[in-house]
């Protein structure tokens, strides 16, 4: 297989390539990444040394992607490339260019070059929020933020291509993912690095929002299962039966970093009515392909914190980046004030 992985300089994409290199060593892996704020060359060092080839390009650049497909006889694509943060999307940034138009480019090229499969990596956030029960793949999508709406738009492009052209596409919808190499803007890495620095962390409201966490290695394995065995035109939920309130997760992070509640500051939720109260997905469909999550949350979280402790050079460089500092100031400056 000649596999093109887009967005592999980022969090989940890089772990997916590591998994492929470990369990499918005969596959040829080609990486495309735009190296935006959350994509970093330092995240790919081991991937490239293990034989992956890197191309600096954006997925919406049709000519560039077509050239890569032609020159490397690409047979499969897994698309992780995306703008991927709700809070950033609330600042007015348009995510449609990469999350929708970029997907359309990949779908058209998959059809044009008669590739065997395009796997679109999506998110559970396209479903919106659910008070009770679980999301199934047949649940109507109802995104509540500009980010999740852009991901839903990408999914609709995939659906339309499958219906209109039978373009060989599979979609995965992943839950809240954590682990090493995650850019420090999502809850677990953001809180971890701040707590390691002895800085206060901002908890929205009373922290009663419920999230379903999955370790990045389990998420990557679920995507691989869908790539190899998923039914064309279908979507697959990738999650773990592990629901926790955000305040419970924060308590575990305090314990793992040796800090206490004095560093937790409750702030007003900037998402207003757009903050999804609870996510929960049924994963029986993906499990029927032989996949199941293997990393218990308590162990995975402890190991993740230990990784950040041991790799301060990786994340401290990111924290000093001007774009990261601007984001933190713009989004948390008012609520954290002197504690920023």
What one-character DSSP code corresponds to residue 230? P
Residues carrying an active site annotation:
124-125, 147
Q: Provide φ and ψ at 56, rounded to 5°.
A: -85, 105
Which are the contacts of 144, defined by CB distance < 8 A and separation ≥ 6? 125, 128, 129, 273, 274, 275, 276
H helix intervals, the chain:
11-23, 45-49, 62-72, 86-89, 96, 102-112, 146-165, 187-196, 216-229, 246-257, 284-287, 297-310, 312-319, 322-336
Q: Supply the angle between the helices 312-319 and 297-310 in degrees, to the nearest 10.
A: 80
φ/ψ of residue 193, rounded to 5: -70, -35
Among 181, 324, 70, residue whose Cα is nearest residue 55: 70
């Amino acid at each position: 297989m000649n596999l093109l992985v887009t967005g592999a300089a980022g969090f989940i994409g890089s772990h997916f390539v590591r998994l492929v290199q470990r369990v499918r060593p005969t596959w040829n892996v080609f990486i495309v990444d735009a190296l935006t704020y959350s994509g970093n060359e330092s995240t790919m060092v081991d991937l490239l040394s293990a034989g992956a080839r890197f191309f600096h390009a954006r997925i919406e650049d049709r000519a560039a992607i077509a050239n890569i497909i032609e020159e490397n006889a690409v047979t499969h694509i897994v698309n992780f490339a995306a703008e991927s943060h709700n809070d950033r999307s609330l600042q007015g940034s348009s995510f449609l260019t990469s999350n929708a138009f970029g997907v359309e480019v990949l779908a058209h090229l998959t059809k044009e070059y008669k590739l065997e499969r395009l796997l679109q990596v999506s998110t559970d956030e396209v479903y919106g929020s659910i008070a009770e029960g679980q999301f199934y793949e047949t649940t109507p999508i109802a995104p509540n933020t500009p980010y999740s709406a852009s991901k839903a738009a990408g999914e609709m492009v995939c659906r339309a291509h499958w219906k209109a052209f039978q373009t060989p596409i599979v979609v995965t919808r992943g839950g809240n993912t954590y682990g090493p190499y995650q850019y420090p803007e999502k809850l677990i890495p953001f809180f971890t690095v701040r707590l390691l620095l002895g800085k206060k962390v901002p908890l929205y409201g009373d922290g009663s929002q419920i999230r379903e966490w999955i370790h990045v290695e389990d998420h990557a394995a679920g995507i691989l299962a869908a790539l190899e065995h998923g039914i064309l035109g279908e979507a697959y939920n990738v999650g773990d039966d592990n629901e926790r309130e955000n305040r419970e997760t924060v308590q575990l992070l305090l314990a793992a970093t040796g800090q206490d509640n004095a560093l937790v500051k409750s702030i007003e939720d900037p998402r207003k009515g757009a903050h999804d109260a609870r996510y929960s997905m049924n994963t029986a469909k993906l499990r029927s392909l032989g996949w199941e999550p293997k990393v218990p949350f308590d162990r995975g979280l402890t190991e993740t914190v230990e990784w950040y402790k041991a790799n301060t050079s990786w994340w401290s460089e990111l924290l000093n980046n001007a774009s990261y500092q601007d984001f933190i100031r713009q989004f948390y400056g008012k609520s954290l004030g002197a504690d920023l």
